[in-house]
Structure 1
Amino acid sequence: MRQQPWSDAQAEHGRILVLSDNPISQAIASIATAAGRDVLVEAVDDGGEGLEPRAGDAVVLCDHDAPDAPRVLRAALASEAAYVAMMASRRRAAGLLDELVAEGVDVTRLHVPAGHDLGGKGPGEIALSVVAEIVAESYGRPGGPMRG
């Protein structure tokens, strides 16, 4: 009998909440949906009504220049979200991080830049690295090659 390398049993995972709507967030939604995750892309730059992280959710801020980025990050970092990330280089995110730290927000859980270092440059490749990091985190894994 041939063994299958996958399991039909689906683990329970939180949602992936993404702000805002752009090519990277659309690619995240496509890849994460294919991986069996529920995704909410909030198109409104102010965080809209939908970004209320629950335990186990992943929050990805795909636009660090969104008007309500600080509020979204504050709420995500104060929540029981399992993963909180921002698409930006550390240099570009420095001002926002400094603002949050000055307010007393603990940013140690914040993944900046979001994703694994795959070297990709296009929206789909960047999204793949973010979804890979979310999946790895949800299983308590560091990511990286499986070969030993």
Structure 2
Amino acid sequence: MTHSHREQPWRDDERTRGRVILLSANPISAAIEAIAHVVGHEVVVIADDDGGPGLGLAQPSVGDAVVLCDHDAPDAPAVLREALASEASYVAMMASRRRAEGLLEALREEGTPGLDKLRVPAGHNLGGKSAGEIALSVVAEIVAEAYQRPGGPLS
């Protein structure tokens, strides 16, 4: 295959490339990490055994995405409170709507601010079931959010 010297149809836009901060190390977070790297994001993985709950030194800022990849983590409520209080542009949790209901209700009852920016379940509805397919949907949503697009079909 030969390549012409035409102008590339894409552009590198650093403004849309915040970090992707993943909480919990599991097959889905590993797949999100791989795909996010491919699209140009720096990725920070905070494993369950990294000592203590929360985002720690990651300190999310504007443009960053925070994804809680384990809704059953004992510190899930604290992590979500911390992420929602941060400047992160995207905050999401891997969970079915049914599994997330109790946690969301508890956060609402405590008056947790910023719940309107929480995406549950994380990702676009692509119908995928494997870790890679789920990760693709999450990274697609992160990219769409960065460009302020709905993430639907192009045609």
TM-score clears 0.5: yes
Candidates 49, 52, 69, aligned match of 1:62 = 69
Q: 1:132 aligns with which of 137, 140, 143?
A: 140
CA apart distance, 1:48: 5.9
Q: CA deviation at 1:90?
A: 1.1
**What residue is the counterpart of 2:110 in the other structure?**
103
Deviations 1:13-48 (A, max 9, x none): 221111100000000000000100011111126336
Which residue number corresponds to residue 27 of structure 1? 31
Runs of at least 5 residues in structure 2 that lack an aligned partner in the other structure: none
What is the RMSD of the two structures over their aligned residues, measured on CA atoms? 1.5
Kept after mapping to 1: 8 A contact 2:21/2:66: yes
Cα pair 2:54 2:82 within 8 Å, conserved: no
Letter in 2 for 1:143: G
| Distance in 1, Cα, partners of 2:136 & 2:70 | 17
Task: Report how many aligned residue pairs link the two structures.
Answer: 146
Match of 1:123 in 2: 131
Residue from 2, 26, 36 that aligns with 2:6: 2
Give, in angstroms, the shift of residue 10 of structure 1: 3.1
Q: Which runs of 5+ in 1 are unaligned?
A: none
Q: Which residue of 2 aligns with 1:18?
A: 22
**Percentage identity across aligned positions?**
64
Structure with the larger helix share: 2
Structure 2 counterpart SS, 1:47? coil
- In structure 2, C-alpha distance between the alignment counterparts of 1:124 and 1:108, rounded to whole Å: 27
State whether residues 86 and 111 of structure 1, in contact with CA within 8 Å, keep that contact through their aligned partners in structure 2. Answer: yes
On the 8 A contact 1:42/1:50 being kept in 2, the answer is no
Of 40-49 and 131-140, deviating more is 40-49
- Looking at structure 2, the residues matched to 126 and 26 of structure 1 have their Cα atoms a distance apart, in angstroms, of 11
Give the TM-score, by structure 1 length.
Answer: 0.92
Kindly indicate whether the alpha-carbon contact (under 8 Å) linking 2:55 and 2:79 is maintained by their aligned counterparts in 1: no
4+ runs deviating over 4 angstroms = none
Shift of 1:140: 0.5
Q: Which structure 2 residues correspond to residues 77-96 of structure 1 after superposition, within 5 A?
A: 77-96=84-103
Question: Separation in 2 of the partners of 1:23 and 1:44?
Answer: 14
